[in-house]
Structure 1
Amino acid sequence: MKIRNFLIYSILYLMLIGLIIVVFFNDLFNSTRVINLGIFKFQKTFEFDSFTWVCMPLVIYVIFALLYFYFSFISFHFSTKRLIKDGKKFEMFLEDLVLDRKNIYKFKTKEIQDASELVKSLYYNQAGTSADKLNNAIAIKAMVENGEICDLKPFKLSKDNTIYLKNEANKAKNDLNYAYNLLKNQEEIQDEISLSAYNNLILNGIYANIKTLKIQKSKEDIKILLNRFANDDLSLSNAELEVLIFNDNFEEGEYLDFAKELFAKIEPNSLKAIFLKLKNEKDNAFRAYLYILAKLALFDELIEEIYGSEADLEDFKLIVFLKEQGKTYDVDKLIC
């Protein structure tokens, strides 16, 4: 109970008792009471007005009330002094925390001592306080920041919360089904979560899902897919491979790299057919087609293409020359 309330209620109580005595027991003012007190051989007689005996408990109550006020004031005074000292010490604690000074602080006020432990846990992002909820929150945040997928339902985070968004990005980055369901109706990358989902599919997804996306693939995306195919990490039919290569306009060197990557993966006639079609539609694919002819040792066709072109093809002419001279050579070292 607050001291102010206690004082008000005490005054009201004394006034009520006084009023009751005056109204209902006014005869007490004219009567006396005698009490004989005996302890062993000690005998004593006390004679007081009846009113005095009635008021004595009230007087005792007032004495104890005053003592209560006094000790409450003393306790409040020292608590305030401790709080003020701990407040100044807490400022120094925060300064040392920011400056990474390893000083040890002990606070006299339990609440400030607990608060200092909570602040350290939050600052260093480490669980270790007696507050289970805070420990759980710190652990969950660390897991999400580390790229793990966590159940955030108990925390009731809003959908614009940074931890919630990071967790969704983790799902998109690691869960192919989630990534595909997120993107299958999107026509462009909308945010970081969509980007994580798209990269996950390009790097790890099956082509059956990738080819149904409405999002336009970039040159880098196509290069990644072709590289996965070349490394047996992605299954592509010849038709799907052709669609990918024809999807964008690449540089001459890029088409040549495709030819080198795919040479050991595709049946020779199919590969030749794809790059012949590519050469007829993309000027930059001409050298890639010549590379395929050279690798397949189709020298009649290679000579026809070389000398029917006005391009500088000295490296391919060198291959023809070496072949005619019966010399050994490495196509991959000569054509770059």
Structure 2
Amino acid sequence: MIVAGEGLQPAEFAATATRAVIACAGQEMRAQARNLAGDGLLGIIADEEVGGLALPLGFAVPVIAAAHSGLLGFPLLETLFAGRLLQQSLPHLATAIVSGETLVSIAWQGEAVAEREGEAVVLSGWVARAPCADKIDYLLVRISEGAAALIPIDAEGVVVEDAAGLDLTVPEHAVRLQRVRIPIDSILPANTWDMLSSDANVLRAAAILGSAEACLSLAQEHASTRRQFGHALSYNQAIRHALARQKLGLESIRHAITRSLSEGSGSVQRDAAFLAAATYGSSISEGALQIHGGMGFTWDIPVHRHLRRIRTLQAQGDASGLISAFGRRYVSEVAPFTEAGA
């Protein structure tokens, strides 16, 4: 799906990620970070100067897909971007993130107000949708003009609220900032957030792809082994058709991700890949849940857990807001032609 670089193949990273996810099962976050770093997975897109592999974003796609297929309970997407974002301004910290020594997350919702006071910046406000914020060392938040700020989670004035949200394995937190004082070098430049959001949507699509793939596999297995009235469920033509539609949706997600990473693609293609994943991913997981019936809601069969994760990713990327933005853009572009035709 992705062009290899320097003799490396994305499939190799997928296999490594799958093994790492299995090894991380049942471990606390810092142990998971050490395992993932030991396999070289935390620095895929970070520069070699901070211990990374300096590979294109596309090489992170199979890793994120494998992580979410295995329901990894670690903010891997946030860690990958933090290591890359900080490699220029705070290389020592980026090195610690890539090596698994320092844990970081990103608050995807909200914006802090920043005020300059001498050689420091004071932050106030409320941010949310920060995965695992109660277990990390640093939190990246958005400030005005698309800039970003890195905040020590134990700094005075930082209040991490109780976990909320649908995904119980990677809980989200809201964080209140009450005049939190940070050094000026912890501020990342304007437009940082726009670039981060665009790239994050590609990996969110990859994460949804991984969960949707797992759901479809579970549904296919259940339909072929579960018997009713002397036949497997797949004997029912309606179920076979439903599984075929889900497979088509899965391939549509895969194609959208490939297109978003092709030469000449931009933020529109990346946002479109995320929206395709959000739409088809929900449909696939809900269809798998329906095929399982009541069994799909039990903890032992993780279909509903994947659905929770997909819904969480939809909210983090503001899928509904993106759809509205695409609609407004479409209307603004076709309106001149409609008026001319009239």
Looking at secondary structure, tell me which structure has more strand per residue.
2
Larger radius of gyration: 1
Q: TM-score, normalised by structure 2?
A: 0.22
